[in-house]
Structure 1
Amino acid sequence: MQEIKSSLYQLCLDFINERIQTAETALQQAREASNDDTKSSAGDKYETSREMMQQDIDRNKRLLIDAEENHKVLSSLKDAPFSEEARNGSLVYTNQGNFYLSISAGQLHLGNETVFAISAVSPIGKLLLGKQKGGEFDFNGKKYQIKEVA
């Protein structure tokens, strides 16, 4: 079971590292575009263009900060010890799907198994926290039964 969790951790780490790289590249390109833009005689057009570039820079900064925060959360889960209760770092098997409580990385494929990497602060993550094998909860009109917590 620990091998599966290690593989899921690595998939999440790859996901978040790619997001960080993408955000850094986009931020650098937006800064370069902003620096290369020279003032034209059409002042209002220039100011609008400049503002749009600044908004692009700000958006990319926020994406980078978010990705770095997710990286910190993920790093704290590297060697999460076993717990019978679902918590950050747990792999939870239910009758409606399998969930890795870590970061929101979406659907992960490990061999022929599909696992959803979700944040503990997501709506379903909040419902999973603290649950044990045999626990149940309802989400979006579906009844979930926990088969195993690893």
Structure 2
Amino acid sequence: MNEKEALLQACFSYVNKRIASYKDEIETIKESIETNDKSNDMEDDSGNGKLFNDLEKNAQHLADATKTLDTLKLINPKKSFDTISLGSIVKTTQNTFFISISMGTIDIGNNNYFGISLLSPIGQLLKGKQVGDSITFNGYTHEILEIK
């Protein structure tokens, strides 16, 4: 498995775990709502109100995670780049980035990468740049040394 395939696999694993967690939480909430409906003879639905809010939040998180998964599916790990775009590995004087999804540090072997989205502030600055270009982010200048 090459470097980019390993990074992409780590991203898929991260997102799939989030999706499974949200699905489990949604099922748990649905069961709680059903249990409350069966055991609650009174007209008071205040307990279910919070559960419905939690259900809605988790459904939104699940939808967002599914969109993130769709973004990952657009990445071809065999493709190399001259300019920074989705799927690029970007080595700068400060860090090495994997342009994919926002997930923080990804450790592959002895190397650390930062998984960032093109929609993130630093992703927007890097987008379309080439080797030799530089950006300034949070007071640090990042000169682009390599794009894979």
2:68 aligned with 1:67: no
Distance in 1 (CA, whole Å) between partners of 2:23 and 2:45 is: 25
Amino acid of the structure 1 residue aligned with 2:29:
A
TM-score (norm 1): 0.92
Q: Secondary structure at the match of 1:18?
A: helix
Amino acid of the structure 1 residue aligned with 2:109:
G
Distance in 1 (CA, whole Å) between partners of 2:20 and 2:85 is: 28
Task: Show the counterpart of 2:125.
Answer: 127
Contiguous gaps of at least 5 residues in structure 1: none
Amino acid of the structure 1 residue aligned with 2:6:
S
Moved over 3 A (4+): none
Q: Secondary structure at the match of 1:26?
A: helix
Per-residue CA distance 1:42-90 (angstroms, 9 max, x = gap): x4xx322111000000011011101100000001103462111000000
Contiguous gaps of at least 5 residues in structure 2: none
Distance change >3 Å, CA 48–CA 80, structure 1 → 2: farther
Per-residue CA distance 1:11-68 (angstroms, 9 max, x = gap): 0000001011001000110111111103254x4xx32211100000001101110110
Distance in 1 (CA, whole Å) between partners of 2:78 and 2:117 is: 15
Counterparts of 1:1-150 in structure 2, within 5 Å, are 3-37=2-36, 38-41=39-42, 43=43, 46-79=44-77, 81-150=79-148
Q: Secondary structure at the match of 1:62?
A: helix
Q: Is the contact made by 1:85 and 1:149 (CA closer than 8 Å) also made in structure 2? A: yes
TM-align CA RMSD: 1.3
TM-fit CA distance, 1:118: 0.7
Amino acid of the structure 2 residue aligned with 1:108:
I
Q: Secondary structure at the match of 1:81?
A: coil
Aligned residue-pair number: 146
Distance in 2 (CA, whole Å) between partners of 1:113 and 1:48 is: 50
Q: Is the contact made by 2:90 and 2:146 (CA closer than 8 Å) also made in structure 1? A: yes
Q: Is the contact made by 2:4 and 2:77 (CA closer than 8 Å) also made in structure 1? A: no
